[in-house]
Structure 1
Amino acid sequence: MKLSICIPVYNFDVNQLVSDLQNQIDSDQLDAEIILIDDASIKEIIDRNKNLENKVSRFIFLDHNIGRSKIRNLFLKFSESEYLLFLDCDGKIISKNFLKNYSDFIKEKNPDVVFGGRKVDKIKPNPEYGLRWKFATERENLTLKERLKTPYSSFQTNNFIVRKSILKKNPFNEGITQYGYEDSIFAKDLFKIKVKIDHIDNPIFNNDVETNEIFLIKADQSAKSLAQLIKKDKNVERISKIKLAKAYFRLKKTGGIFLYQLIYKLSKSFIQKKLLGGHASLKVLDFYKLGQLIGYMNKER
Structure 2
Amino acid sequence: MLSILIPTYNHNVYPLVTKLDEELAATNSTYEILVFDDGSTEPLVQNEKIEIFKNTSLRKLPHNIGRSAVRLQLAKNATYNFLLFIDADVMPVSTSFVTTYIKTIKEKEPEVAFGGIFYTEVKPPIEERLRWEYGKNREVQPVAEREKKPHFIITQNVLIKKDVYLNLSIPTENFYGDDLVFSQQLKTKGIEVLHIDNPVIHLGLESSKQYLEKALSAVSSIVALEKKGVLDPDLTKLQQAYSTLKKWKAIRLFKWYVASRKRKMEQNFLSENPNLRWFDMYRLLYYIELKEKRHA
TM-score, normalisation: structure 2 = 0.90
- Give the whole-Å Cα distance in 2 for the aligned partners of 1:167 and 1:216: 30
The structure 1 residue matched to 2:47, chosen from 33, 46, 49, is 49
Considering fraction of residues, name the structure with more helix. Answer: 1
Query: What corresponds to 1:130 in structure 2?
Result: 129
CA RMSD, 1 decimal: 2.3
Structure 2 letter corresponding to 1:107 = K
Q: 3-state SS of the aligned residue for 2:147?
A: helix
Residues 79-112 of structure 1, C-alpha deviations (whole Å, 9 max, x = no match): 1210000001001123221111100110010110
Per the TM alignment, residue 32 of structure 1 is displaced from its structure 2 partner at its CA by 0.8
| Matched-pair contact (CA < 8 Å) for 1:229–1:239 | no
1:259 to 1:66, Cα distance in 2 relative to 1, 3 A: farther
* Cα offset, 1:115, TM superposition: 0.4
Structure 2 counterpart of 1:197, which letter?
V
Q: Distance in 2 between matches of 1:128 and 1:235?
A: 34
Q: In the alignment, which residue of structure 1 is the partner of 2:70?
A: 71
- Name the SS of the counterpart of 2:186 in structure 1: helix
The correspondence for 1:179, drawn from 176, 181, 184, is 176
The 1:239/1:68 distance shift into structure 2, 3 A limit, reads farther
Number of the residue aligned with 2:284: 290
One of 234, 240, 263 as aligned partner of 2:229: 234
Match of 1:216 in 2: 212
Distance 2:117 2:196 in 1: 11
Match of 2:241 in 1: 247
Q: Is contact 1:73–1:172 with CA below 8 Å preserved after alignment?
A: no
Paired AA for residue 275 in structure 2? S
Selected match of 1:279 from 260, 273, 285: 273
Cα distance in structure 1, aligned partners of 2:147 and 2:162: 23
Give yes or no for contact 1:25–1:31 (8 Å, CA) kept in 2. Answer: no
Shift of residue 254, structure 1, vs aligned partner: 5.4
Contact 2:50 2:57 in 1 (8 A): no
Is contact 1:244-1:290 (8 Å) kept?
yes
1:8 is matched with 7
Return closer, same or farther for 1:51/1:295 CA change in 2, 3 Å cut-off: farther
**Alignment partners' CA distance in 2, 1:251 and 1:59:** 49
- Shift in Å at residue 12 of structure 1? 1.2
After the TM superposition, which residues 155-174 of structure 1 pair with which residues of structure 2 at under 5 Å, given as runs?
A: 155-174=153-172
What secondary structure does 1:124 align onto? coil
- 1:13 deviates by 0.7
Instruction: Name the residue aligned to 2:28.
Output: 29
Query: TM-score normalized by structure 1?
Result: 0.88
Secondary structure of the residue that 1:285 maps to in structure 2?
helix
Where does the alignment leave 5 or more consecutive residues of structure 1 unmatched?
none
Cα distance between partner residues in 2 of 1:293 and 1:278: 26
Distance change in 2, residues 1:61/1:106 (3 Å):
same
Q: Which whole-Å CA distance do the structure 1 matches of 2:22 and 2:37 have between them?
A: 22
* CA offset digits 1:112-159 (Å, max 9, x no partner): 000011211123334333221211121111112222333223x21011
Aligned to 1:196: 192
Name the aligned partner's letter for residue 229 of structure 2: K
SS in 1 for 2:158: strand
Q: Deviations over 1:217-275 (max 9, x none)?
A: 221221121122123x2255x24222212333444565554554444443322211011
Q: Which runs of 5+ in 2 are unaligned?
A: none
Residue 38 of structure 1 contacts residue 60 of structure 1 at CA under 8 Å; is this kept in 2?
Answer: yes
